[in-house]
Structure 1
Amino acid sequence: MNYHIYKESPFQTIISFHKLIEILEQIATTDTMYRADYAKAILKEIEAIPQLKNGITDYADIKKYELIIQHLLADLFPTALTHNEIKAVTIPFQNFTFNYTERFKNILANAGSDFDMSIRNFDAHQFYINNCCLILKAYYKQNIDFNKPFFYDIPDKNGVIYHYRILYNADFMEIIPTEKAVSLTQEDIDLLIDNYNAIDLWKEKFPEGSWILKGFGIITLFDATTENAISILKTNLIKSDIKKISSTVEIENIFKSIFKIENLHFGFVIYNSEEKKFIRPKQYKNDIKSFIMSDTEQIDCGNPFFGCSFNNLLENSEPFVISNVEQFALLPGSEIMGQHLLHQNIKSCVFAPILKDDKLLGIIELVSEKARELNSVNATKLDLILPYLVDTIERYNTDKQHQIEAIIQREYTTIHPSVYWKFKQESEKYFDTLNHTKDYILKEIIFKEVYPLYGQIDVKSSSNFRNKTVKEDLKKQLSMLLDIVSTENEISKLMLLEQRKFELQSQLEQLNEPLRADTEQQIQRYIETEIHPLLKNPKSSPETKKREALYFENLDEKSGMFYHERKKFDNAMAIINKKLANILDQKQVEAQQIYPHYYERFKTDGVEHNLYIGASITPSKPFDILYLHNLRLWQLQTLCEMELEHHYLKTSLPYELDVTSLILAFSSPISIRFRMDEKRFDVDGTYNARYEIVKKRIDKAHIKGTLERITEKEKITIVYSHSQEESEYLKYIKYLQFKNILEPEIEQFEIEDLQGVSGLKGIRVKVKNTQKKSREKISYQDLLNELN
């Protein structure tokens, strides 16, 4: 055993038995003969060693006079209690002890020679100040309660940690000031007790070695292992962040202390009541084990693996205890479960339900490598632990639910952070009236006087490309079926096969014509009802069966059709949308710094976005029209970056798809309303409907007097209706030309009249993409990996 002695102290420590000797001298003069004779004998024995009364400063002398000290302390350490009490002589707060009872000796012997005898969570700083507080209480008579619980954590020979509460008896000590001692006023004392952590101040008022601590203390240890281990576990489990809970090893050590079992192991699973499954909780630090599930992530509670073993646990919510797994594995219906446990070297175990309001939250697993170490008797100790586990698992489930709701709001709804305050405000009003008799009707969320900005970047001729890929897949599928039918017909000479061959040939020729809306569905229905049943003929030739197997390998699992070219096209569209949407989302973070505004985007055959800015959306910040102009310039520049990104991206795709870009400038403020049925914002009222009409019809419009679309590949088209909008955007274009982002040429034109809308004009300008961009070539496979 190693002692840790603190060197700095306000005390000069003198181990002295003078107070005990004075008591013996009084007993020696009494009339009680046997007590007097005993006291006289002890006094005579120590007469030749005056330092026992005057004081010992060299701790080595303690060992020298060990036997005599033991006789001197016999009244305080009765032989009859030596195997029961955990007791020794000590100096308060100092890790130095001697004259142990037999039980204390055995505890230290089992701890081993390498054990460090030190107070838990106690350092030199606390040691110094606690000694000073001892002086304040004993000498200055201050009512200071400074004795917090102290513990020794001592392992036994098997490594199980025992926790002992330390109790001090200072009846045989006295505190004496030296000439170095500082005389303290009440103001000094008040200053000290208000500054516990100011070590320099304490050392100033109590200089090192300025007081004498004379005598000895008695330390008594109380075995508080179970209570203390539960307290440590509780402290661990109440941490706000469940990911900061200690590792499995540390938790296992706590359970080992509670159950006093060396090779005890701990596991845990969560119960999903909706799916009736056990699930391993990945959110825990270092992934807590599960001996029920082993390496499986989740398992159905109705799995035959459990047999009838868990019925009592699941139905009656009672612990399932196996004191002897080897015998359990021999019982009918328990063989699989028993062998599963034995394979993990588990010989006894306890599976206890964690319940909240009679609802099963999870199962705590305790297992041992020895039979009968865990049993129904010591399993009752779990009653002390389970309440804290219930709170932890309930908090875990609540936190998880909150995170899921946050994800749903972020990923699946259109409640943007800029307008969240309005929804929260209305929801709080609704919540506050839930317990009132009068029903509260949720008010509609409306933002008035906001300026709209709309933009899109669209894949050009995407419908034509999609139809082309559909045709190619259908042709390949029909050709392969035609080949199979022709081969089988040559062998069997069946007239029905000849007819099917004719029908397949006709449908193949039909695909040379423009694709009709129902062509794909008609061909798919024909193949499924007329051709596929023929391919299941068990009398088919080996050659035909080989071709049929190859055909079915090429079918898509979901659609039952060929999906090769369409898949490449869909992937190309998904890659374009993801790349362009990422740029827009990243740039939006910057745009919100200009002035907080509402933002939403949609992925179609390209990426669309709506922006709304105004004082009603951000009432906490004064609005100026300057912010609108700033946002318009941001929008134009962002579309330029998206165009440029696509230019360098398209060469890596299986289809070289072009995009067109469009901005709609609208200077009149409008109102937007949250549509509860659609869970999205839309313009409010017929007065603002013109903006929505223009937005929906403009991208297919033509330049007035021509058949040319207003949008063109690698160019950005700006649609407007007022001269001030034209002047504003021409300034932005000129600025971006100066920054070498746009080409010098600017096209301006009138737009054909749309249904219900006339007088629109347009500006079109090409994004500069002739400069070589310093970037590494990305392969199509890399893009697919990124997509997935």
Structure 2
Amino acid sequence: MTPNFFKDSPFKTLISFHKLIKALEEIAVTNVDYRSNYAKALLKQIEPFPEFRTGIEDLNLIHENETVIKYLLADLFPTALTNNEIKAVTIPFQNFTFNYTERFKKTLHNAGTTFDMTIRDFDEHQFYIMNCILILNTFYNQHFDFNKPLFYDIPDANGIMKHYRILYNADFMEIIPTDKAITLTPEDIDLLMDNYDNIDLWKEKFPSESWILKGFGIVSLFDASIESAISNLKSNLLKSETEQVDNTPNFETIFRSIFKVSDLQVGFIIYNEEDEKFTRPIYDDKKIGSFILHDIEEVDCKNALFGCSLKNILEQNKPFIISNVEKFTLTSGNEKLGEHLLKQNIKSCILAPVIKNDKLLGIIELVSAKPRELNSINVNNLDLILPYLVDTLERYNNDMQHQIEAIIQREYTTIHPSVYWKFRKEAQKYFQTSNQSKGYIFKEIVFKEVYPLYGQIDIKGSSEHRNETVKGDLKNQLKTLLQIFENLKSNTNLVLLEQRKFELQSFFNELDSPLKADTEQQIQRYIETEIHPILKNSKMDHECQILVEDYFEKLDEKTGLFYQSRKKFDNAMSIVNKKLAGILDKKQTEAQNIFPHYYERFKTDGVEHNLYIGASIAPNQYFDNLYLHNLRLWQLQTLCEMELEHHRLKSSLPYKLEVTSLILVFSSPISIRFRMDEKRFDVDGTYNARYEVVKKRIDKANIKGTKDRITEKEKITIVYSHNQEETEYLKYIKFLQFKNILEPTIEQFEVEELQGVSGLRAIRVKVVNVENGAMTKKYSYQDLLDELN
């Protein structure tokens, strides 16, 4: 086999047996005759070869004297082990070997004459730096840890590639500086520690052949092919706690073993490519720690604290290493990140990307409370672990996507749990028949003979309030601009300034009239195209400059308009809707115990809800009209509580809002059908459509013969058609009046005719304003019957 040397090296290599010869000389003068005679004979045999002691430069001398060298090395290569050990003499990290054991010879023979034995994934860069590290550790008493395993990939007689782990013994080697060797300072060593990839720096500090490597090394190989199977076991180390057995090492145990850092801690963050943010992962229902995020949930990738530091990770997919955080913090621009780490007692750290198919999945964080423990040299040990992290993180991301889809299914579609069974049944039919028939047609989901209940609590005059806030913001903005133009002093285009002031005043006066559909858009477009360029390009004095800066700070980022009044209104609307919807959702969960029923709720300018109850919703349970009456009473009580909650809430709202409440009673059963195109339920059939017509128009209806709305603030209006419905709800009202939930006064009136609908009547009653209390008890229909009897 032809030697394959790396030519460029910090060492001038001299193969020498001087340490071994010295040991033989010591044995030769001992009193043990057979050992002494053996040593004397060997020493006499090598006397003609002074190069064995001073150093061999001509390799032909080795090949010409293989037998003598074999005798000289006999104690290190015992005959009894020659067929068991895979061992030879070598120069560390060089592809040069001799004096093989019999098993090594056989291994090379099986590989074939064309085989070139080289270390896997080991190039001239690594070779040079590895030799430099050998000098640092041996001559400078450093402790650089480079644990990356080295392998020979050697095919066997059957052409199967086998992988052999390389172990070196350098006991018989000596490192000697020459006149060309540079004496390193502690600062030089720190600089090298942080610049593993800078080969020019290493060659500057360790010039070529500036050191002598004298002696020989011993290389031992062991078959590590089975480690590929063990890697499958290692991947289990990254499973969740519930999946691990009791003796499975945790994250930090694994990393500490590999990095030989006793206090090493591990953190992790997920990269959200869509939002360009780093977030904290949740695994096994627990949040994994992060030293980058520390006590926050997420951080923007462009965050000033981390942006520069994470550039290598985001743009170059390279690790970011700080071997000495205290020293790092002293450099301008690094203070914030350095202080952030020091507050957590982190003195050295590695932030390394986890990548799959050139896509960044996340960042693993390795930290230590000791400086220099983590550095640009031992970061290479991550190569042992990253494959398992990639698989684990990819699985985590996939699981997360499935959970997100499940949440969307649960929270944003109308497949309520009460009717989910029917969808599931249809899906099961599909799976059972899909193998026989690929053209399976899904049946429509229909529930027949169900009783509807509709209710709403609406923001009174929401459209008028919204228009007034829009006009208020527009007037305020125009007034501010007019004030700026009054103070604007410019030497050019004075006529144009007067023209713009006139136009601004015209818009301001126009807002005294009712707001038109496109007024806001017209003013917005005019300000952006005609006014803002003047403000940005005109020369102005200091006082006017302050006015302009204050004006731009008040603009909303999205619209470019003032948003103060509308923001108060929108916030108030959001607070009311969220609070009332929360009460309705919570109480509705309790109402399912009355009888399973379909429920849907919408937030618009208020909160409205639909309920459907009937035997077809829960065919395995007996249905009786008693359950319908119970649900109607529950609905009335819940609206009372929502009214009371608004009464408590409105004094603290940023914008004063009143609400009105409405219940529509419909005693005839209807059918509802799931609309596949809209992914929601709707009433089915021409007759049932009458119910929908009433539902959409009733809240805007007036009392018959007047211009007064049927709804009024702090009152609940109950709309119905038949006498039995009136009788039923008057009983409910009487009962709640007795419980001091509704006031004694009851209003009854007819509702004006709606398009295609006539004969509607209504009951209206006011909710008692309880300032410091709440309804803590809900009453069933049976409670009502017991009370009335």
With structure 2 as the length reference, what TM-score do the two structures score? Answer: 0.59
Please name the residue that 2:651 is paired with.
651
Please name the residue that 1:523 is paired with.
523
Q: Aligned partners of 1:526, 1:582: CA distance in 2, in Å?
A: 42
Change (3 A) 1:506 1:674: same
Please name the residue that 2:642 is paired with.
642
1:497-541 residue CA offsets vs partner (Å, 9 max, x unmatched): 222222222222222222222222222222222222221233223
Please name the residue that 1:570 is paired with.
570
Please name the residue that 2:393 is paired with.
393
> Residue 351 of structure 1: CA displacement?
5.4
Is 1:751–1:760's contact at 8 Å kept on the other side of the alignment?
yes
Query: Which range moves more in the overlay, 441-450 or 633-642?
Result: 441-450
Alignment of 1:482-501 (within 5 A): 482-488=482-488, 494-501=494-501
Instruction: Indicate whether 1:237 and 2:239 are aligned.
Output: yes
Change (3 A) 1:296 1:523: closer
Is 2:270–2:361's contact at 8 Å kept on the other side of the alignment?
yes
Please name the residue that 2:469 is paired with.
469
> Residue 667 of structure 1: CA displacement?
0.7
Question: 1:536 is paired with a residue of what secondary structure?
Answer: helix
Alignment of 1:680-759 (within 5 A): 680-759=680-759
Instruction: Indicate whether 1:561 and 2:544 are aligned.
Output: no
> Residue 430 of structure 1: CA displacement?
3.4
Change (3 A) 1:479 1:649: same
Q: Aligned partners of 2:427, 2:689: CA distance in 1, in Å?
A: 29
Please name the residue that 1:67 is paired with.
none
- Give, as a single letter, the amino acid of the residue that structure 1 aligns with 2:563: Y
Is 1:447–1:673's contact at 8 Å kept on the other side of the alignment?
yes
Please name the residue that 2:94 is paired with.
none
Please name the residue that 1:583 is paired with.
583
Question: 1:672 is paired with a residue of what secondary structure?
Answer: strand
Please name the residue that 1:512 is paired with.
512
Change (3 A) 1:287 1:230: same
Please name the residue that 1:210 is paired with.
none
Q: Aligned partners of 2:747, 2:314: CA distance in 1, in Å?
A: 77
Alignment of 1:420-459 (within 5 A): 420-432=420-432, 438-459=438-459
Q: Aligned partners of 1:688, 1:729: CA distance in 2, in Å?
A: 23
- Give, as a single letter, the amino acid of the residue that structure 1 aligns with 2:468: K
- Give, as a single letter, the amino acid of the residue that structure 2 aligns with 1:670: I
Q: Aligned partners of 1:565, 1:716: CA distance in 2, in Å?
A: 29
Please name the residue that 1:773 is paired with.
772
Change (3 A) 1:640 1:493: same
Q: Aligned partners of 2:501, 2:458: CA distance in 1, in Å?
A: 42
Please name the residue that 1:418 is paired with.
418
- Give, as a single letter, the amino acid of the residue that structure 2 aligns with 1:256: R
Change (3 A) 1:294 1:309: farther
Is 2:354–2:390's contact at 8 Å kept on the other side of the alignment?
no
Number of aligned pairs? 534
Change (3 A) 1:376 1:424: farther
Q: Aligned partners of 2:571, 2:654: CA distance in 1, in Å?
A: 9
> Residue 263 of structure 1: CA displacement?
5.4
Instruction: Indicate whether 1:287 and 2:288 are aligned.
Output: yes
Q: Aligned partners of 1:479, 1:401: CA distance in 2, in Å?
A: 50
Q: Aligned partners of 2:642, 2:564: CA distance in 1, in Å?
A: 28
> Residue 544 of structure 1: CA displacement?
2.4
> Residue 237 of structure 1: CA displacement?
2.3
Is 1:230–1:258's contact at 8 Å kept on the other side of the alignment?
no
> Residue 313 of structure 1: CA displacement?
6.7
> Residue 495 of structure 1: CA displacement?
1.5
- Give, as a single letter, the amino acid of the residue that structure 1 aligns with 2:288: D
Please name the residue that 1:542 is paired with.
542
Alignment of 1:128-527 (within 5 A): 234=236, 237-240=239-242, 251-257=251-257, 262=262, 264-270=264-270, 280-283=280-283, 285=286, 287-289=288-290, 297=298, 389=389, 392-432=392-432, 438-488=438-488, 494-527=494-527
1:60-82 residue CA offsets vs partner (Å, 9 max, x unmatched): xxxxxxxxxxxxxxxxxxxxxxx
Please name the residue that 2:117 is paired with.
none
Is 1:269–1:290's contact at 8 Å kept on the other side of the alignment?
no
- Give, as a single letter, the amino acid of the residue that structure 2 aligns with 1:636: L
Question: 2:592 is paired with a residue of what secondary structure?
Answer: helix
Change (3 A) 1:504 1:397: closer
Change (3 A) 1:365 1:514: closer
1:663-714 residue CA offsets vs partner (Å, 9 max, x unmatched): 0000111111122222221111222100000000111111222222111121
Q: Aligned partners of 1:374, 1:622: CA distance in 2, in Å?
A: 72
Q: Aligned partners of 1:275, 1:623: CA distance in 2, in Å?
A: 50
Question: 2:629 is paired with a residue of what secondary structure?
Answer: helix
Is 2:270–2:281's contact at 8 Å kept on the other side of the alignment?
yes
- Give, as a single letter, the amino acid of the residue that structure 2 aligns with 1:773: N
Q: Aligned partners of 1:664, 1:443: CA distance in 2, in Å?
A: 31
Is 2:313–2:353's contact at 8 Å kept on the other side of the alignment?
no
Question: 2:572 is paired with a residue of what secondary structure?
Answer: helix
1:460-487 residue CA offsets vs partner (Å, 9 max, x unmatched): 1121222222221111111111112222
Same amino acid, percent of matched pairs: 62
Please name the residue that 1:600 is paired with.
600
Q: Aligned partners of 2:353, 2:535: CA distance in 1, in Å?
A: 56
- Give, as a single letter, the amino acid of the residue that structure 2 aligns with 1:617: I
1:173-202 residue CA offsets vs partner (Å, 9 max, x unmatched): xxxxxxxxxxxxxxxxxxxxxxxxxxxxxx
Change (3 A) 1:559 1:234: same
Change (3 A) 1:493 1:280: closer
Is 1:433–1:439's contact at 8 Å kept on the other side of the alignment?
no
Query: Which range moves more in the overlay, 374-383 or 398-407?
Result: 374-383
Change (3 A) 1:409 1:507: same
Q: Aligned partners of 2:437, 2:606: CA distance in 1, in Å?
A: 50
Is 1:321–1:376's contact at 8 Å kept on the other side of the alignment?
no
With structure 1 as the length reference, what TM-score do the two structures score? Answer: 0.59
1:428-487 residue CA offsets vs partner (Å, 9 max, x unmatched): 333455666613233322211111100011111121222222221111111111112222
Please name the residue that 2:633 is paired with.
633
Q: Aligned partners of 1:342, 1:738: CA distance in 2, in Å?
A: 65
> Residue 290 of structure 1: CA displacement?
6.3
1:120-153 residue CA offsets vs partner (Å, 9 max, x unmatched): xxxxxxxxxxxxxxxxxxxxxxxxxxxxxxxxxx
Change (3 A) 1:257 1:554: closer
Q: Aligned partners of 1:740, 1:278: CA distance in 2, in Å?
A: 54
- Give, as a single letter, the amino acid of the residue that structure 2 aligns with 1:615: A
> Residue 306 of structure 1: CA displacement?
6.4
Q: Aligned partners of 1:608, 1:571: CA distance in 2, in Å?
A: 19
Change (3 A) 1:359 1:576: closer
Q: Aligned partners of 2:569, 2:418: CA distance in 1, in Å?
A: 36
> Residue 656 of structure 1: CA displacement?
3.0
Alignment of 1:52-131 (within 5 A): none
Q: Aligned partners of 2:393, 2:447: CA distance in 1, in Å?
A: 42
Q: Aligned partners of 1:610, 1:233: CA distance in 2, in Å?
A: 51
1:68-104 residue CA offsets vs partner (Å, 9 max, x unmatched): xxxxxxxxxxxxxxxxxxxxxxxxxxxxxxxxxxxxx
Q: Aligned partners of 1:495, 1:246: CA distance in 2, in Å?
A: 86
Q: Aligned partners of 2:684, 2:743: CA distance in 1, in Å?
A: 38
Change (3 A) 1:731 1:294: closer
Q: Aligned partners of 1:352, 1:548: CA distance in 2, in Å?
A: 45
> Residue 655 of structure 1: CA displacement?
3.5
Is 2:648–2:771's contact at 8 Å kept on the other side of the alignment?
no
The unaligned stretches of length 5 or more in structure 2 are 1-142, 144-227, 329-333, 775-789
Change (3 A) 1:529 1:593: same
Q: Aligned partners of 1:640, 1:269: CA distance in 2, in Å?
A: 47
1:27-82 residue CA offsets vs partner (Å, 9 max, x unmatched): xxxxxxxxxxxxxxxxxxxxxxxxxxxxxxxxxxxxxxxxxxxxxxxxxxxxxxxx
